[in-house]
Structure 1
Amino acid sequence: MTFKKYQNKKNPSGYEQSFKIYECEDCTDCPLRAKCTKAKGNRQVHWNTVFEEMKAKAKTALECEEKATIYALRKVEVESVFGHIKGNRSFRRFSLRGLDKVHVEFGIVALAHNILKVAGIRQLTSEKNPKNTK
């Protein structure tokens, strides 16, 4: 593959990313073409150097035992709470717009979650089905 050009693209949220585009010289007689690409032209690879640097940085951070244990704790402590709020409490969208209002709205959701957790109130489906209770 040879370097073809630099290209800047904006994603749907408006963030601009820069890519290096590499392209094969000629894919017409390649026996692996069907497995390699579905494009009508030659195979292209878009390489985002910033993204690759961030992936490498995250990988080195996860290889450190101390940071890996911190990330493992986050999965246990935080991710399950968001999953519970989305799945069991059916909170999937914010009703308000604006960062300050969203902070307040999620603060109310988190407060409700914590109060229900302390009070030991289970979701409605576990009350209807005795097999799901602890």
Structure 2
Amino acid sequence: EHGMKKYMKFTMYEKESKDKKYRDDPYRAVNFPIDTDGDPICPNGKKFHYLYSRPVRGNKYGRTEEFYQCEDCSNCLQKEKCCKCKGNRKIRLNEELTKFHKEVLCNLNSIHGALLRMNRSIQSESANGIIKWNRSYTRACRRGSKALNLEIAMICCGFNLHKFHLKKPAIKKAA
């Protein structure tokens, strides 16, 4: 709507982009080929049939996921690698989410995406590291969103005051 592109790393971005074995796993439902009817086909050549759709729990944007079940896994030689269930394998696919993931991967692997990733690692990660490692801040002490926001704000203020205190001698020399 506003012409913004997707550059935010999703949950499994590191594994998806760096782990070739995981990314190219033929038994992942996302990697199953789709036939002309739009149904996935397992590595053994069996067709998955559509069962039902349901809204993704906790999603505010109305996204749905589709559930599919394999037609017959009884005599499959690859069943041990494919699934751990006793009956036929069931999978759930979220086409919209898969499309978003592919777009994010494409954007982040571009030159502009690499620059944005590098810039973010320079800016925010160092402050986070200093607060967590150097100041030994590991866990919030307060409960509730207002109290947690106040605690984080106080920690950030302390961080900024400490930086200001360290820069005071340089400011006096410049004056």
Q: TM-score, normalised by structure 2?
A: 0.55
Pairwise CA distance, 1:95: 1.0
Q: Considering only aligned residues, what root-mean-square deviation do their CA atoms show, in Å? A: 2.4
Point out the structure with the larger strand share. Answer: 1
Measure, in 2, the Cα distance between the counterparts of 1:107 and 1:77.
Answer: 18
Instruction: Give the secondary structure class of the aligned counterpart of 2:50.
Output: strand
Aligned pair partner of 1:61 in 107, 114, 139: 107
Point out the structure with the larger helix share. Answer: 1
Whether contact under 8 Å (1:21, 1:46) holds in the other structure is yes
Aligned pair partner of 2:77 in 17, 22, 31: 31
Question: What's 1:126 paired with?
Answer: none
The one-letter code sitting in structure 1 at the alignment partner of 2:140 is R
Deviates more, 1:14-23 or 1:38-47: 14-23
Deviates more, 1:107-116 or 1:35-44: 107-116
The one-letter code sitting in structure 2 at the alignment partner of 1:34 is E
Aligned pair partner of 1:41 in 80, 87, 94: 87
Question: What's 2:32 paired with?
Answer: none
Question: What's 1:90 paired with?
Answer: 137
Pairwise CA distance, 1:9: 4.1
Q: TM-score, normalised by structure 1?
A: 0.69
Question: What's 1:2 paired with?
Answer: 49
Whether contact under 8 Å (2:73, 2:88) holds in the other structure is yes
The one-letter code sitting in structure 1 at the alignment partner of 2:123 is E
Pairwise CA distance, 1:31: 0.9
1:110 aligns with 2:141: no
Whether contact under 8 Å (1:6, 1:21) holds in the other structure is yes
The one-letter code sitting in structure 1 at the alignment partner of 2:84 is K
Deviates more, 1:104-113 or 1:75-84: 75-84
Count the aligned residue pairs: 116
Pairwise CA distance, 1:118: 5.0
- Residue ranges of structure 1 left out of the alignment (5+ in a row): 121-134
Measure, in 2, the Cα distance between the counterparts of 1:111 and 1:63.
Answer: 35
The one-letter code sitting in structure 1 at the alignment partner of 2:93 is W
